[in-house]
Structure 1
Amino acid sequence: MAISSLVIHNPIPVARLSGGTNRVGIIRSHRSVAFDVHPQSKPSNGMAASPLNHLHLHTEAPPRTDFVDSSTSHLCRYEEMLSVPPKSPREVIASKWHEIHGSTEWENLLDPLHPWLRREIIKYGEFAQAAYDAFDFDRFSEHCGSCKYNKCKFFDSLGLIHNGYEVTEYIHAMSHLHMPRWLERSHLVNTWSKDSNWIGFVAVSNNEETERIGRRDIVVTWRGTMAPSEWYDNLQRELEPFGHGEARVEHGFWSIYTSKSASTRYNKCSASEQAMREITRLVKQYQTRGEEVSLTITGHSLGGALALFNAYEAAQSIPGVHISVISFASPRVGNAAFRDELHHLGIKILRVVLKQDIVPKMPGFILNEGLERFEDITGPLEWVYTHAGKELKLDACASPYLKRGLNPMGFHSVETYMHLVDGFAKTGSGFRADAKRDITLVNKACDLLADELRIPPWWQQEANKGLVCNEYGRWVRPRRDPEDIPSPAKKH
C-alpha cells in the first residue's frame, strides 16, 4: 500500500537519572515527525527510484529532539543508557539489500545515515573487531599469532552468535619482506609458526539471517595490523605495478596478500589463494541450489587494504556476484588507475573514516588525490595515492562521551568507530539520543571514554595475565583445548 504521508505525534518523557524511560538526555515533552515517501520521484542520475532513497525526515515545531543535548551531563546520560537494552531491532531488509550494499552508490543513505544501513555497518564492524579479539598476541604463548578458537565455535566464543553467520575457513598470511630480528613477535623456539599469522576468516549467513537480508551473504573479514612483521610491511610505502596497465598498489600491503612459501606450514598457499578458494567453493555451492549470493568483504586498517585486493580478484574471477567492501580506517592502497579498475569491475566500496584518525590519511600524506587538480599541468600522476569508493566521515567531537585531545590509538580503534556510527545521524547534528550500543566497549582496548564515566581503560584483559593455578598449587600457563590448537594446513 502506497503511503504518501505519515505523521506521528509522540509524547516523550523528560529523562531522569533514575527511572524506566529509554530516552537519553534532556528531551522535550512533545514532537511531531512526518515521513514522506515519494514513489514517483527519480534520482537525478536517472536511476530507478527506490523507497529507501526517498525516505525523507521532516520536523515540525517544536524543534527536533532526536539528539543528545550538549548541556546535559554525559554522566547522567550514561546512567540512563544503562537501563536500555544495547541491541537495536533488526528489521527484515530483504527487499532493499541492493541499495544498502551500494547498488545506487548509497545515494541519500549516508547523510543522513539510514538506520538500516547503520545497523549493517555495525554488523560488519563487529566482524572486524572479532578478528582482533580472537587473535593470540601473547608473545609468551606457544600459539602466538594464531586464532584462539576453533572455527566451529568462533562466534559463540566471542558472543556474536546473534549475527547469524558461521565461519567456514581461516586465512593465514606471511610476507617475503626482510624484517629485522628484533621485530620478531616471539623468540620462543617451539612456537606454532615462525612464518605465518592468522589474518582473517570466511563466513556465510545461516538460513535465518539469509531470509532476513534477502540473499546468502558470504563475508570475508581481514584483520588489521597487530604482528610486528605487519607493522614493518606497512612502513614500506612503495607503489609497485599492478596488473598490466597503469595501476599501482602499495608494496607492503601486496606482499602480505600474495606471499607464500613451500617450506612453511600454513602458507604453502598465499592469503589470496586461501580466500579465493573458499569464496569460489561457497559461491558454487549456493548458486547450485538456486540461491542469490552476495560477497561482502570487510576489514579494519591493514584489513581494509587487503579487502580491496580480495574484492578485485573476486570480481575478475566470479562475474555476476554482487561484491561490496565495507571498511573501517582503511589507508590508501593504490593510485587513481587502481581506483578506476575497482570502479569498472562494479565493486561497491564504502569507507568509514574518522576525522581524527591519521591512518586513513596514509600513505601519501602529501602525495595524495588532492594533486589530481593539477593533472592538466603534470599529466597522469601514476605514483600518487588515492582512495576508492564512497566515504562516511565521522567526528569524535560529536560524541559527548569521549575525551578531547590527541589519542591516536583510541581514534583508530574499531570500537570507537562503531560507537560513532551508532551515534551518527547526519553531518553537524549531535549524538543520537536513542543510540543503543554499549558505550563501555570503547575502552576495551584504549583510554578514550571521559573519566567521569568511571570506565577503566584497557579493561579487556586476562586474569593474572593468563596464568592459572594447577592442582599442585603451581601457577602455570593453561593448555588450550585440543580443538582450539592450530592444526596443519590441508594439502591442496
Structure 2
Amino acid sequence: MWRQVQGSHDWDGLVQPLHPVLRDEAARYGELVDACYKVLDMDPSSSRHMCCKHAKETVLEDAGLVKAGYEVTRYIYATPDVAAAPSATSAWVGYVAVSTDEMTRRLGRRDVLVSFRGTVTQAEWAANLRSSLEPARLDAHHPDVKVESGFLNLYTSSGDKSGGVGGMGSCREQLLREVTRVVTSFSKDNPREDMSVTLAGHSMGSALATLLGYDLAEHGLNRDASGCRVPVAVFSYGGPRVGNEAFKDRCAELGVKVLRVANVRDPVTMLPGAILNEGTKGFLAGWGATGDCYTHVGVELALDFLSLRDPGSVHDLGAYVASVKAEACGKVPNAAEDGGILAMAMELVGGQSAAASTWKEIAALQMGGLVQSLGF
C-alpha cells in the first residue's frame, strides 16, 4: 500500500485513526530527519563547524541508524542572504539519499529521499524574521503563488558571488540537480521499477521540503527516464506555514502530497500568519480587510503532547517521533499534564536550552508575522 502511504488518496482513512503502516513510516522518516541533528558539527572551534561530521558512506550508521536502508548521494548546503547576518557562511542543512536494493524490495519501490534539519544558525534565525509573503518566482507562469520570504531566501540564495560552498550554487540549485540526476539514473537502469520522491523535514526543514516539492513538480523534474511522473510526498514535522492560498492550490494541482505531523501545542505550527491565516480569512474579509493570508498545505496528522519538565519538547523532533511511535495522537510516554501558561513560563525561567531554542524560533516567526500583519 505504498502509494496510499505516500498520499495517493490524501491519506483518507489512514490518519484518524492512525493506520499502523502510516505510523511506522512517519516514525521512520522522522528518524531519518533526526539524523541531521545528530551528525551536525556545532562546535565553533571545529574546522567542520556547521558541516556534517561524517562521510556520506557511513553518516546514517554514525547517526545510529544502522539499518536505515538508504545510501546518501549528496550533502546539501544553504547560505542565507540577510542583512541581519551579512557574514553568514554556508551551513549543512541535509542530504539526498536513495533506498538500497534490499530496502527497495521491502518498500515496493525505489525511494529517493531528501532530509532537512531545522533552524540552527544565527543567519537562519534572522531569515525567520522575514515573514512577509512574496512571489515565489520559481516559475514565470504563476505570479499569484507567494511564499514566506525568509524560507525562499534560504532556498534560493547562494549567499555570495562565489556561488555558495565550492561554487555549488544555492540550496535550490544543488537539490534540483541531484534529485533529477538520481531519478533519471535509477529509472534508466531499472525501467520497470516503481519510484517515489520523499521530502522530509523538521521546522524550517519542512518549509524547505515543501518548497522543493512544489519546485520539482512545477518544472516536471519528478519524471523518470521514460517521462512518467514520479509521486512526490512531503513528511513535515512541526512545520510552519509556507505560502498563501494560491501556493496551496498549486501544490494540489501538481499532485504534491504533504502530510503535516503537528503537535497541537506547538506554536511553530501556527506561524507565520498568526493573524492573517486560513482560519481568519473570512472574518477579516467581513471587516473589509483584503490581501494574502498564510495557508497550510496538505493533510494534518495531529498529535497532542507536552512535558512541563521540558516545555521546549513541544517542538522537539525526538518528542514528535516518540509520540508517533506510541500511536499517541495523544501524549508522549510519561508526559506531564498541562498546567497552563503560567507553569510553562515558570519552566522557561529555569533556562533549559531546548526550551530556549524553541521559543527563540517562535519569537522570530511571531515578530515577522506581526510586522507583516501591521503592513510595515
Structure 2-normalised TM-score?
A: 0.80
Q: Please state how far the C-alpha of 1:247 moved relative to its aligned partner.
A: 1.4
Contact 1:175–1:255 (Cα < 8 Å) also in 2:
yes
Larger radius of gyration: 1
In the aligned structure 1, how far is the partner of 2:324 from the partner of 2:165?
39
Q: Please state how far the C-alpha of 1:219 moved relative to its aligned partner.
A: 0.3
Alignment deviations for residues 291-338 of structure 1 (CA, whole Å, 9 cap, x no partner): 221000000000000001110111123240100000100001111111
What is the match of residue 103 of structure 1?
A: 8
Contact 1:112–1:425 (Cα < 8 Å) also in 2:
no
What is the match of residue 308 of structure 2?
A: 404
Q: Which of 332, 335, 339 lines up with 2:244 in the alignment? A: 335
**2:183 is aligned with 1:283:** yes
In the aligned structure 2, how far is the partner of 1:231 from the partner of 1:458?
16
The 5-angstrom pairing of residues 175-186 of structure 1 reads 175-180=80-85
Tell me: CA distance 1:379–1:324, structure 2 relative to 1, closer, same or farther (3 Å): farther
Q: Which amino acid aligns with 2:256?
A: I
What is the match of residue 292 of structure 1?
A: 194
What is the match of residue 256 of structure 2?
A: 347
Q: Which amino acid aligns with 1:112?
A: P
Q: Please state how far the C-alpha of 1:225 moved relative to its aligned partner.
A: 0.4
Deviating 4+ runs (over 6 angstroms):
430-433
Q: Which of 414, 418, 428 lines up with 2:321 in the alignment? A: 418
Q: Please state how far the C-alpha of 1:286 moved relative to its aligned partner.
A: 1.5
What is the match of residue 303 of structure 1?
A: 205
**2:256 is aligned with 1:356:** no
Q: Please state how far the C-alpha of 1:153 moved relative to its aligned partner.
A: 0.9
What secondary structure sits across from 1:162 in the alignment? coil
Contact 1:124–1:298 (Cα < 8 Å) also in 2:
yes
What is the match of residue 241 of structure 1?
A: 135
Contact 1:424–1:432 (Cα < 8 Å) also in 2:
no
What is the match of residue 271 of structure 1?
A: 171
Greater fraction helix: 2
The 5-angstrom pairing of residues 8-87 of structure 1 reads none
What secondary structure sits across from 2:280 in the alignment? helix
What secondary structure sits across from 1:219 in the alignment? strand
In the aligned structure 2, how far is the partner of 1:406 from the partner of 1:381?
40
The 5-angstrom pairing of residues 71-470 of structure 1 reads 96-180=1-85, 195-243=89-137, 244-260=142-158, 261-263=160-162, 264-266=164-166, 268-288=168-188, 289-290=190-191, 291-316=193-218, 317-318=220-221, 319=223, 320-374=229-283, 377=286, 382-396=291-305, 403-404=307-308, 407=311, 409-425=312-328
Q: Please state how far the C-alpha of 1:379 moved relative to its aligned partner.
A: 8.2
Q: Which amino acid aligns with 1:270?
A: S
Q: Please state how far the C-alpha of 1:350 moved relative to its aligned partner.
A: 0.2
Contact 2:207–2:240 (Cα < 8 Å) also in 1:
yes
Q: Please state how far the C-alpha of 1:425 moved relative to its aligned partner.
A: 5.0
How many residues are paired up?
A: 324
Structure 1-normalised TM-score?
A: 0.62
Q: Please state how far the C-alpha of 1:134 moved relative to its aligned partner.
A: 1.1
Aligned-residue identity in percent? 39
Q: Please state how far the C-alpha of 1:180 moved relative to its aligned partner.
A: 4.5
What is the match of residue 59 of structure 1?
A: none
Alignment deviations for residues 334-382 of structure 1 (CA, whole Å, 9 cap, x no partner): 1111111111100111000111111111111111111233476478954
Alignment deviations for residues 152-203 of structure 1 (CA, whole Å, 9 cap, x no partner): 111111121312111000001102211247xx6xxxxxxxxx6200111000
Q: Please state how far the C-alpha of 1:142 moved relative to its aligned partner.
A: 2.3
Q: Which amino acid aligns with 1:172?
A: Y
In the aligned structure 2, how far is the partner of 1:232 from the partner of 1:426?
33
Tell me: CA distance 1:417–1:234, structure 2 relative to 1, closer, same or farther (3 Å): same
Query: 5+ residue gaps in structure 2?
Result: 224-228, 336-343, 345-351, 355-376
Q: Which amino acid aligns with 2:148?
A: E
Q: Which amino acid aligns with 2:79?
A: M
RMSD: 2.5
Alignment deviations for residues 203-223 of structure 1 (CA, whole Å, 9 cap, x no partner): 000011100110000000111
Tell me: CA distance 1:203–1:423, structure 2 relative to 1, closer, same or farther (3 Å): same
Contact 1:335–1:383 (Cα < 8 Å) also in 2:
yes
What is the match of residue 24 of structure 1?
A: none
Q: Which amino acid aligns with 2:100?
A: N
Tell me: CA distance 1:419–1:458, structure 2 relative to 1, closer, same or farther (3 Å): farther
Contact 1:329–1:352 (Cα < 8 Å) also in 2:
yes
Tell me: CA distance 1:97–1:361, structure 2 relative to 1, closer, same or farther (3 Å): same
Deviates more, 1:377-386 or 1:349-358: 377-386
What is the match of residue 485 of structure 1?
A: none
In the aligned structure 1, how far is the partner of 2:64 from the partner of 2:305?
27
In the aligned structure 1, how far is the partner of 2:45 from the partner of 2:332?
42
In the aligned structure 1, how far is the partner of 2:62 from the partner of 2:208?
25
Contact 1:122–1:421 (Cα < 8 Å) also in 2:
yes
Q: Which amino acid aligns with 1:410?
A: S
Contact 1:173–1:267 (Cα < 8 Å) also in 2:
no
Q: Which has the higher contact order (CA 8 A, sep 6+)?
A: 2
